[in-house]
Structure 1
Amino acid sequence: MTSVTFKEKPMTLEGNSVKTGQQAPSFTVLAPDLSEKTFQPESGTKTLISVVPSVDTSVCDQQTRKLNEAVDQLGDAEIWTVSADLPFAQRRWCAAADLESAHIYSDHRDLDFGTKYGLVMKEMRLLARAVFVVDAQGTVTYSEVVPEVSSHPDYDKALDALKQA
């Protein structure tokens, strides 16, 4: 089991941790318009899954902007940003950030993603910060669960992994 801290306080992660080399689990989340969106790992498209505790915080805001812009420039991949924020908060953030076309999804309703990827911080009912790269065949080719949730992930490694997927 991966361990993380939030502002140096240990957090209990619930769910099944996902490791590099294994098949990515499918999951269902909500889009900002409250429609269900299901991730199908064998979609034929390589995908970067960016996980943030809340888009309303500075590190999460920076992570979401940076990775959305980088993946958009690649052109041959998609990005899913997942948080436990309410869909209404995500929609407001996307409008304020001028990222209305961002693929940002809420795991608030039933924590399907967080449980399947082992990222639910029990003490806060938020998701731990992480990045996953899933290749076109649905295999996880890169995974990083950031040890200190208030820190940034390794953007360069994640984007290099996406380019190679």
Structure 2
Amino acid sequence: MTVKFQGNPVTLQGQKINVGDEFRDFVVTKNDLTPLTLKDTSGVRVFLTVPSIDTPVCDLEIRTFNEKIANVQGVTVYTISHDLPFAQARWCGAEGIKNVITASDYKDRAFGEATGTYVKELGLLARTAFVVDSNNKVVYADYLEEITSQPDFDAVLNAAKEAK
């Protein structure tokens, strides 16, 4: 699979996730600087990775999920980036983001490694969407071919609604 940034191929590092895989454990940093691992999450989860929440494409993605997930019961959305937790907290507060949890992979890059989303050339995460059921099985995985594109919001949300 080829992933591009502004039309140029980039190298993803880490272990790619496929539908049917068990979602791998990770450690990221929450906005209060405490760790968040897979074991700290439960139920149906959507894990999104973005290069930076403070860019127009990522901003639109998170705002859209924040709005759409408000009407979906029993699903938690996490957005992971390399933005510092302070910047994530500031951005979420300023933008009124209440239905999406942001966390940072800046410290250990463990999420990027566990999901094969770390972009070697940029030092950022690629744009991806994973839906994980309550048994930690991946029921949806999308590595967007172009990092600057938006995910298929309806496909992600439909997979989350169908997961148990």
TM superposition score category, shorter chain reference: over 0.9
Name the SS of the counterpart of 2:71 in structure 1: helix
Q: Distance in 2 between matches of 1:124 and 1:49?
A: 20
Name the SS of the counterpart of 2:76 in structure 1: strand
Q: Which runs of 5+ in 2 are unaligned?
A: none
Task: Give CA deviations for 1:100-142 in whole Å, capped at 9, x if unaligned.
Answer: 5631000011110011100000011100000000011110000
Cα RMSD over matched residues? 1.5
Deviation at 1:65, TM superposition (A): 1.3
Report what 2:44 is aligned to. Answer: 46
The AA in structure 1 aligned to 2:96 is D
The AA in structure 1 aligned to 2:143 is V
User: Which has the larger displacement, 18-27 or 67-76?
Assistant: 67-76
Q: Which runs of 5+ in 1 are unaligned?
A: none
2:108 is aligned, of 107, 110, 114, to 110
Q: Distance in 1 between matches of 2:73 and 2:98?
A: 18
Name the SS of the counterpart of 1:74 in structure 2: coil
Q: Distance in 2 between matches of 1:145 and 1:62?
A: 18
Contact persistence 1:29–1:106 (CA under 8 A): yes
Report what 1:77 is aligned to. Answer: 75
Deviation at 1:32, TM superposition (A): 1.2
Question: Runs (4+) of structure 1 moved beyond 4 Å?
Answer: none
User: Which has the larger displacement, 99-108 or 113-122?
Assistant: 99-108
Residues matched between the structures, number? 163
Task: Note if 1:28 corresponds to 2:24.
Answer: no
Report what 1:143 is aligned to. Answer: 141
> Where in structure 2 are the equivalents of 1:124-139 lying within 5 Å?
124-139=122-137
The AA in structure 1 aligned to 2:140 is Y
Contact persistence 2:10–2:119 (CA under 8 A): yes
> Normalising by the residue count of structure 2, what TM-score does the alignment of the two structures yield?
0.94
Contact persistence 2:82–2:125 (CA under 8 A): yes
State, as a whole percentage, how many aligned pairs show the same letter. 39
